[in-house]
Structure 1
Amino acid sequence: LREYDISAFGAKKGKGSVEYGEKWLADLEEIIIDAKRTPNIAREFEMIDYDTDRYGNPLPRLCDKNNHSIDATRYAFSNDMKKGKYVYEY
């Protein structure tokens, strides 16, 4: 990545970080996705469901499959989550 002058760093992970990130995203007033330009991301956000236990009861976290874009979104906003930023102006 450095060869192409791309600045990248690892995401910090810890106990409860996935659930926290999912809740943070869910608490946003709106997530805008351009389905024409990013159809896979749009499909992922539309199709995601909560994980269930062996009895079919919902668990407080999303299914951990077909969620690569959602994971990337959580990582991209990890600094904002720490700062408590919820409103974005454009």
Structure 2
Amino acid sequence: MDFVMKQALGGATKDMGKMLGGEDDKDPDAQKKEEERREALRQQEEERKAKHARMEAEREKVRQQIRDKSILDTVLKYLPGPLQDMFKK
């Protein structure tokens, strides 16, 4: 039965003092901690964006290499045999 009563009251007993006009338990460093947390989140976001930009630049470089190779192969088909051999090396 004790368990049922505790569940029914829940956190109400903790808030009873506040409801009767008691003082709030405020952390004096709460604002400083919140600012530090926001700064950390901002830094993480910047790092994530920078990493994403680097990865995308690398991918674009590989894509361009693939495009260049396909174009070169197409042009080589129309060149005479000796010129093709020279470019393939």
- Same topology, TM > 0.5: no
More helix by share: 2
- Scaled by the length of structure 2, the TM-score of the pair is 0.19
- Scaled by the length of structure 1, the TM-score of the pair is 0.19
Q: Which has the higher contact order (CA 8 A, sep 6+)?
A: 1
